[in-house]
């Protein structure tokens, strides 16, 4: 059955682009509030899992306001980081937001990355995969541009199934988050789309299979918040090209 909250597949790309353009001014604030500040910890874990060498090249796909890229550079200023996204306004908000640290942003679609094969030591994406029309296609592109031996790391929401925590989290996610999102950003629709976009998103074992089918090996994942099987609300997957 189709979810009336979600756009038709053929309109999804432009819907997503417009939605992030609209919420860009308050995107960071809303992230901090609805994740209780945990999102920073998840992004640090993403960078740990990239296994980047000094002077390594990192591509952050769907970089938004650049938090993953900034996290990498806070760790190691020798890194060469590039961020790409569909929504220019998100990157405009991200540019210059961390004193003394900067990296280039460019407009690009995750399904057609404007980079040569084997260009990066690692490729990351944070909270993007729910928003693309072709998850495997996005991983294929990431696997193409990462060097052999390089990592592809994906941070994404996962809906918990555990008996008590599952319904509690769903209440928070489906009822409370749209209310807070509406007040903070004035875009309640975007924060209604958010939980609905997670419903049909592949569960962690299935997402790992999709990554393998895109040519990545040694694919693993870890759950966070609170991070117990069936109770995690965020999954971080990683694989090696």
Ligand X SMILES: C[S@@+](CC[C@H](N)C(=O)[O-])C[C@H]1O[C@@H](n2cnc3c(N)ncnc32)[C@H](O)[C@@H]1O
Give residues in contact with ligand X (CB under 6 A): 16, 20, 62-64, 67-68, 85-87, 90, 109-111, 126-128, 131-132
Q: Quote the least distance from Cβ 207 to ligand X, whole Å.
A: 16
Longest dimension (CA), the chain: 49
Nearer to ligand X, 86 or 223 (CB): 86
Nearer to ligand X, 92 or 162 (CB): 92
**Residue whose beta carbon is closest to ligand X:** 64
- Quick one: CA dihedral 28, 113, 159, 4, positive or negative? positive
Nearer to ligand X, 44 or 162 (CB): 44
Nearer to ligand X, 34 or 68 (CB): 68
Nearer to ligand X, 93 or 241 (CB): 93
Beta bridge partners of 84: 61, 106
Q: Quote the least distance from Cβ 97 to ligand X, whole Å.
A: 12
Nearer to ligand X, 13 or 170 (CB): 13
Q: Quote the least distance from Cβ 107 to ligand X, whole Å.
A: 8
Q: Quote the least distance from Cβ 163 to ligand X, whole Å.
A: 29
At 11 the three-state DSSP class reads helix
Which residues make Cβ contacts (< 8 Å) with residue 100, sequence separation at least 6? Answer: none
Rounded to the nearest 10°, the torsion over CA 222, 225, 226, 228 is -30
- The phi and psi torsions of 6 (rounded to 5 degrees) equal -85, 145
Asked if residue 140 has a cis previous peptide bond (ω within 30° of 0), the answer is no
Whether the CB-CB separation of 158 and 230 falls below 8 Å is answered with no
Task: Strand 57-61: give its sheet, edge to edge.
Answer: 105-107, 80-85, 57-61, 120-126, 146-157, 234-240, 217-224
Q: Quote the least distance from Cβ 120 to ligand X, whole Å.
A: 16
Q: Quote the least distance from Cβ 126 to ligand X, whole Å.
A: 3
């Amino acid at each position: 059955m189709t979810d009336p909250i979600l756009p038709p597949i053929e309109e999804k790309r432009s819907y997503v682009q417009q939605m992030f353009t609209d919420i860009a001014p308050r995107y960071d604030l809303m992230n901090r509030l609805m994740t209780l500040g945990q999102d920073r910890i998840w992004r640090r874990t993403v960078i740990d899992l990239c296994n980047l060498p000094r002077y390594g090249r990192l591509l952050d796909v769907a970089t938004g306001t650049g938090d993953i890229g900034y996290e990498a550079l806070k760790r190691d200023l020798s890194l060469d980081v590039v961020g790409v996204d569909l929504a220019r306004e998100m990157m405009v908000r991200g540019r210059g937001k961390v004193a003394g640290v900067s990296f280039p942003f460019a407009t690009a679609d995750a399904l057609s990355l404007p980079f040569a094969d084997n260009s990066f030591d690692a490729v990351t994406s944070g909270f993007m995969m729910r928003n693309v029309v072709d998850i495997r296609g996005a991983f294929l592109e990431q696997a193409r541009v990462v060097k052999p031996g390089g990592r592809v790391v994906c941070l994404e929401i996962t809906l918990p199934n555990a008996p008590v925590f599952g319904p509690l989290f769903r209440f928070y996610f489906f009822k409370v988050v749209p209310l807070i999102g509406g007040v903070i950003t004035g875009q309640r629709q975007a924060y209604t789309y958010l939980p609905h976009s997670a419903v049909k998103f592949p569960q962690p074992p299935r997402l790992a299979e999709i990554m393998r089918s895109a040519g990545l090996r040694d694919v693993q994942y870890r759950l966070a918040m609170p991070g117990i099987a069936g109770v995690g609300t965020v999954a971080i997957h990683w694989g090696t090209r």
